[in-house]
Amino acid sequence: MKKSLLITGLLALSTSGYLFAQDVKASAVPAAVKAEFAKRYPAVTKVGWEKEKGNYEANWGGKSGEDNAAMFTPAGVFVEYVHIIPISELPKTVVPYVKEHYKTAVKEAGKGTDAEGKPFYEAEIKGAKDVVFDINGKFIKID
């Protein structure tokens, strides 16, 4: 019994890392991803890479080096861009929505654009989840 619980726990820990962002060396980022990033953001020279949900995320700018993030599929297809903003710049409905539905506070906020050019807001909450809202502050999804 103890052995099966230990094995189950180890499997859960080993697979849970794939759900969250993992730092990746630039040498491990596909050439197509790096090429598309350089094409879109030619002025950016210092970038950190993460792998998240099978995609590659470039992070750059600001004191933390993560004020901007751009996500790409392994084939180099652009998914989204997000820029960190003060929580006070979120639409006025977002913070109350998060408090009511998730019983927690917004840890970090971002304003982004998806592959079709459609703007959105992200509110990061406890548990490394992003709650996504449209430009008017209407809930869209958990990411």
The pLDDT tens digits for 67-81 are 999 999 999 999 999
Asked, for residue 14, whether it belongs to a domain, the answer is: no
Residue pLDDT, tens place only, 125-138:
987 689 999 999 99
Model pTM greater than 0.85? no
| Cα–Cα dist 80/14, whole Å | 28
- Answer with the one of 54, 82, 110 that is the final residue of a domain: 82
Tell me the average pLDDT across 14-25. Answer: 61
Q: How many CA atoms lie within 13 A of 17 on its CB side?
A: 8
Q: Are residues 90 and 64 in the same domain?
A: no
93 shares a domain with 138: yes
Same domain, 71 and 92: no
Cα–Cα distance measured from residue 38 to residue 80, given in angstroms and rounded to the nearest whole number: 15
Domain interval for residue 123:
86-143
Instruction: Give the end of a domain, one of 49, 82, 115.
Output: 82
CA nearest to 112, candidates 89, 135, 93: 135
Residue 63: predicted pLDDT: 81
Q: Residue 42 pLDDT > 50, yes or no?
A: yes
Q: How confident is the model at residue 7 (pLDDT cuts 50, 70, 90)?
A: very low
**How many structural domains compose the chain?**
2
